[in-house]
Each structure stands twice: as structure tokens, then as C-alpha cells.
Structure 1
Amino acid sequence: MFPRLTPAVQALLIANVAVFLLQFFIADQALEYFKLWPVSALASSAGAGFQPWQLLTAGFMHDGVMHLAFNMLAIWMFGSALEERWGYRHFMTFFLICVVGSNLCQLLVSSAIAAWDGPIIRTVGASGGVYGVLLGFAMVYPDRRMVLFPFPAEIPARTLVTIYGAIALFYGITGTDAGVAHFAHLGGMLFGWLVIRYWRGQPPFRKGPRKPKPPKPPKLRVVK
């Protein structure tokens, strides 16, 4: 059964699809300034150096239809449940923090690689935010049964997310799956974990704000 399409998730889907379509009509050179580039003199000399806004804008750009489709499907499947639990404002805040946090982690890694005379790596995609949403889903609904893709086996959400996180960490450290921003995935999970711990007032935070509450249903007015 597919989840209901909630307002914040719908807005994210529209924004990502709209940006993806723009990539076909705008010169690729102009879009380079919105992708995430490492802090590197070589990248800057090529006319595509790092700019602060890239931490956000890169999270709304994708390299292909399948890249976009998988990310949007995950946002819909898992993000809708979180938005129904937290409400529009808290979910959107959570997602955007995960996007920026994931790109910040990727920036540190890609800049270090460039500093050691490695390749100049530019990053695009909402995958960091998606991994943050997956982590949030597992923390809110830890015992929800999920399918371990591509195997037809159901396991608790917390176990599934742990497996995905371990895979991302393995590939990130070993570099055996080049072309994928594994440290962005891990960064999204890290910042998602920190945000939820902050909301709950749990370590490493002493006391956080109120937990996100479900949005109140609209009041009904009786007309006589």
C-alpha cells in the first residue's frame, strides 16, 4: 500500500523534478555553479569552485532519470510517514538540514582528496537527504517491517537502515564503488540522528525543544 502524498513531500518532489527539467534547457556551464565542488585551487581555476550555496542547491540536482526516480520514491515512501508524524515545518526542516549536513561531509572528503592530488569530484543529488529520512524513519518506527531490497525478506526498519549504513561506510572507506557519494549518505544519516536527538533532548544535547507533534486536525464549524 502506497503512503499518502503529504504537502512537504509533494513540494520536494515538484522542486526536484522542476530542477531536473531545467537541466535540459539551461547551458551545462551555468549549472556548474550550483553543483557541489571541493575547495580546490584547481577547481576554482577551471571556473567551478566551491560556493556556500552549493551545500543546498546540489541536493536538488541529479545526473539521470534513475538517479532522480530512486531518490524521489524514497522521499515519498519514507518521508510521508515522518511528515504525518511531525508536520510540514518540522519535516521540511529535518530534510533540509540532512541535505546541507550530508553535503558538508562530502565537501570535507572531496576537498581532502583534491588536496592530496586526487581527482576533482563534484557532487549532485538528494541522496544525503534521503539517507537522513531513512535514518529518521528507523528511529521513529524502529520495528516497522521493511523489505530488504533486492531480496524478498522482511526485517525491522532499524536493522535495514543499519545494513545500508554499514554498506555505505564500507564502500566509502574502501573506495570500491566509485562514482557514488557514500560519505554524503553517511553525513545525511549523521545529521538526521543529531537533529532527532536534539529534538528529544538526548545526549550529546542536554535539553532540546519540544518534540515535533502531529499537526492538529482542522476545526469544524457548525453552520445552522
Structure 2
Amino acid sequence: MGRLTGAIKHLLIINIIFFIATSLFGEQMYQWFSLWFPENENFALWQVISHMFMHGGFMHILFNMYALWAFGSPLEQMWGKKKFLFFYFSAGIGAALIHTAVNYYYFNEGMNVLLSSGLTRPEVIDIISQGKFNTGWYELASRTTIDNFLMSYSTPAVGASGAIYGILVAFGMSFPNSELFLIFLPVPIKAKYFIPVLIGLDLFSGVTGYSIFGQGIAHFAHVGGALFGFIMMWYWKKNQFNNNRWN
């Protein structure tokens, strides 16, 4: 952790502007800039980027922006502004792709069940696009299957968390022995231990549906951001990516 670097400062400002605008024009902002399922009528291509500047509440943006500053500042100082921004947005886009891919699985799993009951695809889309569904659907498949199907279509993703998880991975690989002082742990823990455990918990929550962090969290977006962050770091280290390429 250190001084407020250039890219981080601008990211903080943009996130704060989006947060204030969302507080003033909440429903419209969520409709335009959250990441919706591609088959949802609210989906737009720019949301792959814009969702990274949207947050669901004060604590959400507070934790994300603190992590961006705390873990991102050393990386920007080491890499420079251009390389840092490339990494940040690549991890965020990677998180969006993984999140959407998982939602496609949930959506098609539920859709196939409903199609087998005699409904047509346009009929199902029309029903759920109105925020409705038949409780009898729960008799066709498990509650989890139907709930995941409905959520995949109607619940948008917001937040910089996917990009932040990429930053966490990069920090852990660059400064593995840095000791982190966490509020909920009485002793410092090294980055190389804490960050893999955190990602593992998200993977566990995504697979099982049981979350110790609370509900409404896009766990696979976190895992996706971490995965893309790891791939980029592995590639850069393997190929000894030169900072001069980003000048």
C-alpha cells in the first residue's frame, strides 16, 4: 500500500461518479449499465465494461475501492499505468465472460426442462421477461434448477469484484510474502496463503450454493477474474513481458 497512483485515482473517481448517479437514478442506471444475461431485453454490449463501475450499496463499493487502492497501487507502481489498466479491464472482462458462461449453463438447464413440459421457448421468455413464473415449474425439476434458471435471466451482475480478484492474484504472485492484516483475523497472514483460500471459498460457494459471505454474490465472476488474472500473470512471467512495450 502506498500513494494514490494515476490509474487508481481515475478508476476511483469514475466508480464514485457512477455510485452517486445510481443513488439518484437507481433503476435506470441498473437497467443501462449492469451486466444482464444476453437474452434479456436489457442486455447491451457495453455492459461487459460498464458493470465494473456499478455497485449494489455503500459497503460493496467501499470494500472494492479499498482493495483496488491497497492491492492495485503496488502493481501500478511496478507496471506503469497502461499495463495496469490493460490487466484490470482484462480481468474484469474475463470475470464477465465466466459469469455469463455459467449463467448460460443454468439458463439452458432450466429451459430444457420447461421445453420438455410442452412450453415453447418464446412462451418461456415472455413469461420470465414479465417477472412471472409458474410455481408448478418446481414440480418439473429441483428448486435449485428453477431458481438458478430464473436468476440467470433476471438478475444482473454489478461491481468491480471480478477485476479486483484479478488484482489480488497479481498481488499474491508479485508479493507472495507480504503480510496482510485483516479485521477478522488477530494475526497477519501472508498473501500467498490468504488469496488462494479466498478464491477457494468463492469456488466452493459457487459450486455448492452455500456462501459464508452472504447471498447475491456472483461467485463465479470472482473466480473468473482470478482465473484470467492468473493466466495473464503466468503468460507475462513465462514470456518475460517487458514494461517498455507499454510505454
TM value normalised by structure 1:
0.84
With a CA cutoff of 8 Å and minimum separation of 6, indicate the structure with the bigger relative contact order.
Answer: 2
Once the two structures are aligned, what percentage of the paired residues are identical? 36
One of 180, 186, 205 as aligned partner of 1:171? 205
Q: Is the 8 A contact 2:22 2:29 kept in 1?
A: no
Find the aligned partners of 1:116 and 1:147 in 2 and give their Cα distance: 42
Deviation at 1:154, TM superposition (A): 1.5
Larger radius of gyration, structure 1 or 2? Answer: 2
Question: Does the residue aligned with 1:142 lie in a helix, a strand or coil?
Answer: coil
Q: Distance in 2 between matches of 1:190 and 1:75?
A: 17
1:58, 1:129 → 2: CA distance? 11
2:224 aligns with: 187
Cα pair 2:99 2:221 within 8 Å, conserved: yes
- Gaps of at least 5 residues in structure 1 are 203-207, 217-224
Distance 1:212 1:158 in 2: 24
- The answer to whether the Cα contact below 8 Å between 1:148 and 1:160 also exists between their aligned partners in 2 is no
The reply to whether residue 152 of structure 1 matches residue 183 of structure 2 is no
Correspondence 1:196 to 2:247:
no
Runs of 4+ in 1 over 4 A off after TM superposition: none
Distance in 1 (alpha carbons) for counterparts of 2:29 and 2:64: 24
CA distance in 1, matches of 2:166, 2:91: 6
Q: Report deviation, 1:31.
A: 3.8
Q: Is the 8 A contact 1:199 1:212 kept in 2?
A: no
Q: CA RMSD in A?
A: 1.9
Paired amino acid for 2:31? E
Give the structure with the larger helix fraction: 2
Q: Deviations over 1:79-98 (max 9, x none)?
A: 00111111111111110111
SS of residue paired to 2:243: coil
Q: Which runs of 5+ in 2 are unaligned?
A: 111-148
Residue in 1 aligned with 2:76?
83
Q: Higher mean Cα deviation, 76-85 or 149-158? A: 149-158
CA deviation map 1:69-117 (0-9, x unaligned):
0000000000001111111111111101111111111111122222233
Aligned residue number for residue 39 of structure 1:
38
Contact 1:129 1:188 (C-alpha < 8 Å) held by counterparts: yes
**Residues 41-190 of structure 1 correspond to what in structure 2 (within 5 A)?**
43-44=40-41, 48=42, 50-117=43-110, 118-119=149-150, 120=153, 121-177=155-211, 178-190=215-227
Q: Report the CA distance shift for 1:183/1:5 in structure 2 as closer, same or farther (over 3 A).
A: same
Tell whether the 8 Å contact from 1:147 to 1:154 is kept in structure 2 after alignment. yes
Equivalent pairs counted in the alignment come to 202
